[in-house]
Structure 1
Amino acid sequence: MPRTYAGWFRAVAIAEAFSWVGLLVAMAFKYGFQQPLGVTVMGWVHGLVFTAYVVTCLVVFSPLRWRFGVLVLALVASIPPLASVWFERWANRRGLLTESDSDEPTFWGRVRYAVRELN
């Protein structure tokens, strides 16, 4: 089991890519061999993993201190097949998958503070 935000992100990004491949293979069986059951199953699996990827991006961008543009790129990478793995490798090369030791509040910390102040 992953123990860091980066580890969770990597695991979900790779799972999202595998689910894309599974869905593409199932589509080939559906349209090539008239076997639609695979798309029914893999469509559901891919939808679940896709949702997990989006939620994971929204959770990890703050502790990993991604800029908003990086978050948008991570979310856009969920749409083309296998782009989530490309994004994970790109982010890793640029050091975006390491947690910084900054004392500055994270995005969600600022949101929590703003909500507390409004109450």
Structure 2
Amino acid sequence: MLKTALGRFRFIGNMEGTSYLVLLLIAMPLKYWADMPIAVQIVGAIHGLLFTLYLIALLQVWIVKRWSFLRVVIAFLAAFVPIGTYILDAKLRKET
């Protein structure tokens, strides 16, 4: 899976999506309901790193697979929807 640009993109996308859900569903409630802001700092930093890797992997897939600009924009926007990367991964899995 990690040998191709698309495989790496799908893997990083799933990791990024998971970190986003952990940030929203676990770290943020811990910050505001349990007064534990360190959870957001740690998970937020991990999510930021994974989001950056997601963008790099998206750029690589754009170049290697010659995706259209619209497809790249959709993949970019998928990272901002809590389960968007999972939906994108399901569509990419059907294509391969």
TM-score scaled to structure 1, two decimals? 0.74
Provide the C-alpha distance between the structure 2 equivalents of 1:86 and 1:32, rounded to a whole number of angstroms: 30
Q: Which structure has the bigger radius of gyration?
A: 1
Q: Percent identity?
A: 34
Provide the alpha-carbon RMSD of the alignment: 1.4
What's the CA shift string for 1:48-95, capped at 9, x where partnerless? 1011111110111121221111001001111111211211212332x2
Provide the C-alpha distance between the structure 2 equivalents of 1:91 and 1:69, rounded to a whole number of angstroms: 15
Greater relative contact order (Cα < 8 A, sep 6+): 2
Higher helix content, 1 or 2:
2
Aligned pairs, how many?
Answer: 95
Question: Shift of the alpha carbon at 1:31?
Answer: 0.9
Q: Counterpart of 2:34?
A: 33
* Stretches (4+) displaced over 4 A: none
Q: Counterpart of 1:85?
A: 86
Q: Counterpart of 2:52?
A: 51
- Unmatched segments (≥5 aa) in structure 1: 99-119
What's the CA shift string for 1:7-66, capped at 9, x where partnerless? 101110010011112211100111111111100101111111011111110111121221
TM-score scaled to structure 2, two decimals? 0.90
Provide the C-alpha distance between the structure 1 equivalents of 2:85 and 2:51, rounded to a whole number of angstroms: 10
Provide the C-alpha distance between the structure 2 equivalents of 1:68 and 1:12, rounded to a whole number of angstroms: 20
Contact preservation (8 Å) 1:54, 1:78? no
- Unmatched segments (≥5 aa) in structure 2: none
